[in-house]
Structures are given as structure tokens and as C-alpha cells.
């Protein structure tokens, strides 16, 4: 079955360390996204990529970096510059829109990052 | 600034009752999505609404879209405990040109027996 795999499920890091969250999809989707969710809040867009080797900043990109070297993979690095990195991180992918058709985002199961 | 607001943020209702969750957005969009999230879990797609007047129904949930009013509703009929979750609406602005979704604040629904 196709889907999105995020790893690890839980991640603990010391303050000042960079950490990379993995996201792999086998849905053959062109677009991939990273969202951040804080307790009791909605989702905020960090970065997104519509095609390999190209990505755009979302609303809260500061302190994060991404790469898109392969269609299937969109890793997110949380750098030491991110002031409040503890959160639930969700990766998503989406098929390219075809005229009047539109597909929803498909989400991975998320990575819960705790930085102390 | 693009805003997507949901109302109410928290809803406690009894089993068997009906209620409506509202999603207002501040920019032109003809595409709107509803998602469900169980505690500690990922998001599951519920409905995709693609045009003004679109209505979709699945079980006890019905979603509608009024693009002129920039409003979508999620109506719950005869609620059951299994519907307890957080519900998010998301808007695809600019006609999908940027291919990114903006999410609402979420509505936490608690159905009491």
C-alpha cells in the first residue's frame, strides 16, 4: 500500500543540536510539505516543495532547512537557530492538480520532537 | 494576511444531538478541505469541496461550501462518541497556483454519552 513514512516517531534532543526528521512517500506525488503543530493549535506551514530540487518557504521557515533531491524524500532539519523546536511535525504530500480536479493532502503519522 | 477561522474552537455535545462547525476564510478560494485528527495522531481527509454550492456527505457528517460568503460548514447529525476528535478546515488559495493549503485553528469536538 502507498503512503507516507515519517521517522522516528519520537525524538529527543539537547538544546543547541541540529536534528533531521525523515519523510518518505511512495505515492508518486509531486508536492511535499512540512507542517508544525503545537498543543491545542492548528497546523503551520514550514516549507513545501512542488518539484524535485525546488522548495519554498512557508509561514514559519526560520530555523528550519529542507532538501528535495529525490521525488520520494523531503527531510526537514531543525537547526539550533529555531527558538522553540519542541512540537509535533507532520509531513504531507499531494498529487499535482489537474484542472478542475483537486486532491487533498495525505499525511504521515508525524514525529514528536522534544528539545530540552 | 490570509486567515482561516473556525467556530467554535471547542464543542461539547451530547450523543444524538445535531450541531454545525463553521469555517470562514479571508481570501478568494474555490477549494476547501475538511480533516479529522484523533488525539496524538495524524490528519485524515474527510471531504474535498471544489465549487460554490458543493455538498458532500459521509455518514453523520455533511460539509458544504459557499464561496461567495467565504464560508464552509461541517454539520453533525445525531452525534455519537466515535465522532470525538479535532476537525480542521483548510483552504487552497489562489486557485491552487501555489499548491499549498492554509489550515484553520481547529475545532475540538467532545461527544458525551
Of A58, A92, A97, the CB nearest to B96: A97
Query: Cell numbers of A24, please?
Result: 518518505
Inter-chain CB proximity B41 and A103 less than 8 Å: no
Average pLDDT, rounded, for chain A: 91
Query: Cell numbers of A66, please?
Result: 529542507
* CA–CA separation, A78 and A61 (whole Å): 10
Residue A58: the pLDDT is 92
Instruction: Assess whether pLDDT exceeds 60 at residue A99.
Output: no
Residue A1: the pLDDT is 64
Residue-wise pLDDT for B13-40, tens only, equals 999 999 999 999 998 777 899 999 998 8
- DSSP string across chain B: ---EEEE-SEEEEETT--EEEEEEESS--S-EEEEEE-TTS-EEEEEEE-STT-EEEETTEEEEEETTTTEEEEEE-S--GGG-EEEEEEE--GGGTS---EE---EEEEEE-
Inter-chain CB proximity B99 and A103 less than 8 Å: no
Band (A100; pLDDT cuts 50, 70, 90): low
Tell me whether A43 touches chain B (CB under 8 Å). Answer: yes
From chain B, pick out residues whose CB is under 8 angstroms from the CB of A56: 98
**Nearest CA of chain B to the CA of A101: how many Å?**
8
Inter-chain CB proximity A43 and B105 less than 8 Å: no
Amino acid at each position: 500500500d502507498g503512503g507516507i513514512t515519517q521517522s522516528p516517531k519520537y525524538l529527543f534532543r539537547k538544546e543547541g543540536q541540529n536534528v533531521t526528521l525523515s519523510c518518505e512517500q511512495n505515492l508518486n506525488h509531486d508536492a511535499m510539505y512540512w507542517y508544525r503543530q503545537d498543543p491545542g493549535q492548528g497546523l503551520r506551514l514550514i516549507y513545501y516543495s512542488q518539484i524535485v530540487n525546488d522548495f519554498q518557504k512557508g509561514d514559519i521557515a526560520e530555523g528550519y532547512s529542507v532538501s528535495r533531491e529525490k521525488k520520494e524524500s523531503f527531510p526537514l532539519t531543525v537547526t539550533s537557530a529555531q527558538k522553540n523546536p519542541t512540537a509535533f511535525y507532520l509531513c504531507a504530500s499531494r498529487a499535482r492538480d489537474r484542472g478542475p480536479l483537486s486532491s487533498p493532502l495525505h499525511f504521515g503519522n508525524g514525529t514528536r520532537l522534544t528539545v530540552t | 494576511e490570509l486567515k482561516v477561522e473556525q467556530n467554535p474552537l471547542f464543542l461539547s455535545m451530547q450523543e444524538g444531538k445535531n450541531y454545525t462547525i463553521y469555517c470562514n476564510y479571508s481570501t478568494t478560494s474555490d477549494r476547501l478541505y475538511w480533516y479529522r485528527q484523533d488525539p496524538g495522531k495524524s490528519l485524515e481527509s474527510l471531504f474535498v469541496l471544489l465549487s460554490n454550492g458543493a455538498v458532500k456527505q459521509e455518514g453523520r457528517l455533511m460539509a458544504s461550501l459557499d464561496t461567495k460568503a467565504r464560508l464552509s460548514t461541517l454539520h453533525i447529525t445525531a452525534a455519537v462518541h466515535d465522532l470525538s476528535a479535532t476537525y480542521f478546515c483548510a483552504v487552497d488559495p489562489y486557485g491552487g497556483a501555489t499548491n499549498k493549503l492554509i489550515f484553520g485553528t481547529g475545532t475540538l469536538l467532545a461527544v458525551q454519552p
